[in-house]
Amino acid sequence: MPDARDAILERICSATRRGADENAPARAAEEFAAIARPYLRAGRLDAEARLHLFIDRLHDYDAHVVETSADSLPRTIANVLQQHGQRKVIAADGLPHEMLPRDFEFLAEREAGIEDLNECDGIVTVCTVAIASTGTIVLAHGPGEGARRLSLIPDRHLCVVRAHQVVETVPEAFDRLAPSATHPLTFISGPSATADIEMTRIRGVHGPRFLDVVVVR
Amino acid sequence: MTIRVAESAQAPSFQKAALPLLEDAQLRRNVRHATDVIQLKRAQVVAETVDWQELRTTASDTKAHTLRYLDHYLLQFEKACTAAGGQVHWAADADDANRIVADLVRGYGGNEVIKIKTMTSDETGLNEALEHEGIRAHETDLAELIIQLGRDRPSHIVAPALHKNRSQVREIFRETMHLPDLGDRPEDLTAAARRYLREKFLRVKVGICGANFLVAETGSVCIVESEGNGRMCLTMPEVLISLAGIEKVIPSFQDLEVFLQLLPRSATGERMNPYNSLWTGVHANDGPKHFHVVLLDNGRTSVLADAEARQTLHCIRCAACLNACPVYRQTSGLAYGSSYSGPIGAIVTPQLLNMEHGQSLPYASSLCGACYEVCPVKIDIPEVLIHLRGRVVREQKSALDAEALAMKMAAAIFASRRRFEAAQRLGRLAQGPLVRKGWFGNLPGLLGNWTRVRDLRALPPQTFREWWKQRAKNAERSGHA
Amino acid sequence: MRVSLFITCYNDTLFPATGQAVVRLLERLGHTVDFNPEQTCCGQMHYNTGYQQEALPLLRRFVRIYRDAEAVCVPSSSCVAMMRDHYPKMAAEQNDAGLARAVDELLPRVYELTELLVHRFGLEDVGAYFPHRVTYHASCHSQRSLHLGDLPLRLLRKVRGIELVDLPNIDRCCGFGGTFAVKMGDVSAAMLAEKMRDVENTRAEVVTAVDNSCLMHIFGGLHRQRAGVETAHIAEILAATESDEVPA
């Protein structure tokens, strides 16, 4: 309805006591740039402390965390999958091959239908950035991160996070995400949860009930 | 144009609606428990955030700035969203919005929708409007599902079923989901909801959501949630429709670094809620093929026009003010006659309705200030409440109203020392018949609301000023002696 | 110092003992107290109930009476909150530069009683004696508008003989809220019930605060229940000494 659009825009102009004004975008940009941002943007921890905080926060959310090295990554992934008795596991498209254990057969994301997602034991992805202060992993759904439904429908999500991907603060994460700003973005902080009944936190309502994070040092 | 906010035009006054709720011991116990738990969690995660006050200030400045240039930012959003494959619609009022959504759903051949909890659709009464058009809406947030299946009303902005305890929820699920053996542990109830909804997530073709933030710069929409029902509705259907108030826009992607720190801590006392989703228009091979945004005014521009109350539109619907409010704590949100409840509801509802309904709401506060203290975007709610009381007095009250006359008289008394002292003496004389053994009995009129549950001492035999005068006289006398 | 007392309309009329205690206390500390009988009310009741126009003459009256005062002492945080939170804005709206300036110049010299004692006089021990079990209620305006923090508690801790006990939920509103208590009488009563439960759990003999308005409300409820708990404005505790008769 173009008339509703015009009417709303006009009401806004008269409410803010500004007529139609060609300079508004320029002035808005100038005023916006002048907004003070005195909050913490950069973190203060060294790399070791940052990783420690990240892992600590993940534990707070009931996520399962395993630390490993780049060399042992495939074995670690195999161990985690085995530990939880996972057989049918889907690997996100674009996941680096050298990361995955050779003796484990993965179903490729591109070949998995909704039924496969609904029935599988779990999935494996990487992420774009992780935030230590909040225990968050962020998927920009690029190569290796899967389409959004991949990390949503299955019951178990294994996410590989490399140490250099972990930042301390939320603003640092947004700096790293800026190039992906128009990608679909999913911030994941622990398994899906609800506290709608008597404020009791229950894990796993609709998203994965289990989140395994493999941290690669 | 007909502005409507849920059922608020037909709602009884706050004090009337509160009465049966105050009698409901179970409800009050549930509300006390829930708000105590959330407040404690919030206090902990706020205390550990060393730059909390700085974040609040930047958030408030950002919102104030955005509102000054709201038209510019909305147009920027529209352009970016459209370029990314989305379609933007504008709705002047609730009916407009409901009609746009219903037309879209029907246009895609749907007769069912799955919904993420959205306050805005409660505001417009979307579910009822869709039902009228033969379209069935399934709420997918656990609390909203409890409300929908129990044919109840939401009592809280973030946790709408907080007034129900586990056994009450079990009864609702047992009956409506036909599960005679359902247990009453929250785990059992949550699992039942998971099974009930999963089939719908995989089948229904149209999803409806609100928006926590609209990013002008990129045309992206952000949804903050916990359960994953949001992600289901945002990614599984073929068509996605987002109904968003025009005040939801923020200038840049980077602004989220502020709001995404404030909102989860304020709303649920978490450092970050389990899931935040952002998307921009339509993404190839991932998620819905069609995306629509409906931008809703429904009275927001008239709030914008009132410079003193404009800050109301800063609200990010975190409900921290509800949890902190000692009034909400007694009544729950059900007394506010609108899906917007608590302190923020008391200022949002009457303003959206241009003060034509909900005039009792600005008085549903003791002005204790707990709401302002916790507000992550620094809305000075007590200040706005007082301003709106002024509007009620100026715009709604007849000059012959008993309260208005009493206030005029009091003003005349305070305007003169002579009249003030005379009133003090007269009060002492006139109280005679109402006083027994130094205490007032039942007082007439509004003051009877005091003496129904509280005692009141009779006026003392001497005012302070009389004592002062007497003392000066005594001093003078002893000085002369 | 010469202290000008703004007693407030309801203390003047309903709680003269509080004013007398303020005078006794300040004089004991070596100050001179002034009382200008032209004073009436700060305008809060009108302003907060929506009668903002009616509050304006009371602002002008306050400024006229106190503009030359060295320090104004107000034994009520909510009246001070009215002045600090609203007077500057009210004056600015009048487009009266003289009035706005006068308000700006006067407000820094207006003190709530405990601010005067601790901030202006630098005192915590005022030489009081009060041998009772006491709990302190932090009134809403005292903490959220004046940000008194623990000022009143610092003064109370130095009172000899006092047994000070923490009030649970010390910062929760008692439900008074001016005209709120009668306009929303039932909700206010429910809030009061919670406050009384907290008070009774402390097993205190006396509840104190920096505002008689809250105390009138809390005492009104306690007395109706025949709870046997008294209330006393903080001035009355700080003014009490060994030589007094048994107070409270």
Chain B, 412 to 451: residues with Cβ < 8 Å from chain A are none
**CB pair distance less than 8 Å for B283 and A31:** no
* A130 and A158 in a common domain: yes
B223 neighbors B211 (Cβ within 8 angstroms)? yes
Give me the residue spans of the domains in chain C.
2-120, 133-239
Task: Assess B97–A contact: CB distance below 8 Å, yes or no.
Answer: no
Residue A181 and residue B220: Cβ atoms within 8 Å?
yes
Mutant choice from B226, B233, B255, B306 vs A, greatest count of A C-beta within 10 A:
B226
Q: Return the CATH architecture of domain C133-239.
A: 3-Layer(aba) Sandwich (3.40)
- Of the residues B414, B424, B456, the best mutation for testing chain C's interface (the one with the most C CB atoms within 10 Å of its CB) is B414
- Asked if the Cβ–Cβ distance from B67 to A13 is below 8 Å, we say no
Edge-to-edge strands of the sheet including A210-216? A64-68, A210-216, A156-162, A122-126, A89-91, A107-108
Write out the E strands in B263-391.
Answer: 275-280, 290-296
Provide the terminal-to-terminal Cα distance of chain A, rounded to the nearest Å.
55
For B286, name the nearest residue in chain A, comparing CA atoms only: A147
- Residue B400 confidence (pLDDT) above 80: no
Considering only residues 351 to 390 of chain B, which have any Cβ-Cβ distance to chain A shorter than 8 Å?
Answer: none
Nearest to C1 by CA among C22, C21, C20, C29: C29
Q: What is the pLDDT of residue C248?
A: 47
Let me know whether A204 and A109 are in one domain. Answer: yes
Q: How far is C189 from chain B (nearest CA, A)?
A: 7
For residue B421, give how far its alpha carbon lies from the nearest alpha carbon of chain C (Å).
9
* Count of domains forming chain A: 2
| Contact state of B260 with A187 under an 8 Å Cβ cutoff | yes
Question: Does pLDDT of C224 surpass 60?
Answer: yes
pLDDT in tens, B189-226: 999 999 999 999 999 999 999 999 999 999 999 999 99
User: Do residue C49 and residue B393 have CB atoms under 8 angstroms apart?
Assistant: yes
Question: What pLDDT is attached to residue B179?
Answer: 94
Other CB atoms within a 10 A radius of the CB of residue B29 amount to 12
Mean pLDDT for chain A overall: 94
Across B235-261, average pLDDT: 98
Percent of chain B having pLDDT more than 70? Answer: 100
Q: Is residue A165 part of a domain?
A: yes
Assess whether A11 and A98 both reside in one domain. Answer: no
Indicate whether A61 and A153 sit together in one domain. yes
* pLDDT value, residue C245: 55
Rg (CA), chain B: 27
pLDDT reading at A1 higher than 60: no
Do A134 and A53 share a domain, yes or no? Answer: yes
Q: What is the pLDDT of residue B333?
A: 97
One domain, residues A58 and A159: yes
C175 and B462 within 8 Å at the Cβ level: the answer is no
Q: Are the C-beta atoms of B101 and B243 separated by less than 8 Å?
A: yes
User: With an 8 Å Cβ cutoff, are B91 and A14 in contact?
Assistant: no
C247: pLDDT strictly greater than 70: no
Half-sphere exposure of C69 (CA within 13 A, CB side): 27
Q: How confident is the model at residue B481 (pLDDT cuts 50, 70, 90)?
A: low
What pLDDT, on the 0 to 100 scale, is given for residue A200? Answer: 86
Chain A hits for B351, CB-CB cut-off 8 Å, are: none
Chains meeting C at 3+ CB pairs closer than 8 A? B
Closest chain C residue to the Cα of B32, Cα to Cα: C194
Percent of chain A residues past pLDDT 90, beyond the cut: 83
C161 contact partners, CB below 8 Å, separation of at least 6: C129, C130, C131, C132
> A20: pLDDT confidence band, cut at 50, 70 and 90?
low
For residue B228, the chain A residues in CB contact (below 8 A) are 152, 192, 205-208
Are A17 and A97 contained in the same domain? no
Contact present, A and C (at least 3 Cβ pairs less than 8 Å):
no
For residues A178 and A209, membership in a common domain is answered with yes
Q: Which of A35, A194, A201, A213 to mutate to test the interface with B (most CBs of B within 10 A)?
A: A194
- In this structure, the answer to whether residues A146 and A90 fall within a common structural domain is yes
In our burial notation (b when 16+ CB lie closer than 10 A, e otherwise), range C49-83 reads bbbbebbbbbbbbbbebbeebebbbbbbbbbbbbb
- How far is B296 from B243, CA to CA, in rounded Å? 7
A39 belongs to a structural domain = no
Residues A135 and A184 reside in one and the same domain: yes
Our CA-based measurement puts residue A87 at a distance from the nearest CA of chain B, in whole angstroms, of: 23
DSSP state string for C75-130? S-HHHHHHHHHHHHHHHHHTT-HHHHHHHHHHGGGEEEHHHIIIIIT--S----B-
Q: Which residues pair with A138 in a beta bridge?
A: A129, A187
Residues in A closer than 8 angstroms to B301, CB to CB, are 8, 11-12, 15
Tell me whether chains B and C touch (3+ CB pairs under 8 A): yes
Residue A130 is part of which domain span?
Answer: 47-216
User: Do A120 and A203 reside in the same domain of the chain?
Assistant: yes
Q: Count other C-beta atoms under 10 Å from residue C101's C-beta.
A: 11
Same domain, A82 and A125: yes
| Interface mutation vs chain B, best among A61, A125, A182, A188, most B CBs within 10 Å | A182
- The pLDDT value recorded for residue A144 is 98
What are the tens digits of pLDDT across the range B81-108? 999 999 999 999 999 999 999 999 999 9
Nearest-by-Cβ selection for C37 from B14, B362, B417: B417
Q: Do domains C2-120 and C133-239 have the same CATH topology?
A: yes
Residue A40 lies in a domain: no
- Answer whether A28's CB lies under 8 Å from B69's CB: yes
CA distance B242 to B239: 10
- Reference B67, options B304, B385, B398, B334; nearest CA is B304
Judged against a pLDDT cut of 90, whether residue A21 lies above it is answered with no
Residue A42 lies in a domain: no
- CATH code, C2-120: 3.40.50
CA dist., res. B235 & res. B286, Å (int):
7
- Cβ-defined contact of C51 to B327 (cutoff 8 Å): no
The four Cα atoms C179, C185, C187, C191 give a dihedral, to 10 degrees, of 80
Domains annotated on chain B, with CATH: 24-302 (3.40.50.10420), 420-480 (no CATH)
Is A38 within 8 Å of B227 when comparing Cβ atoms? no
pLDDT tens figures, C64-119: 999 999 999 999 999 999 999 999 999 999 999 999 999 999 999 999 999 999 99
Backbone angles phi, psi at B261, to 5 degrees: -90, -35
Nearest Cβ partner for B455 among C41, C57, C223? C223
Which of B14, B421, B467 has the CB atom closest to C20's CB atom? B467
Q: What average pLDDT score do residues B283-311 get? A: 96
Look at residues C169, C165, C113 and name the one whose alpha carbon lies nearest to residue C136: C165
Say if residue B349's pLDDT is above 70: yes
Residue A166 is assigned to a structural domain of this protein? yes
Picking from A170, A186, A206, the nearest residue to B229 by CB comes out as A206
Rounded to an integer, the average pLDDT of A15-35 is: 86
As for the ipTM of the complex, it is: 0.96
Which residues of B fall within a CB distance of 8 Å from C228? none
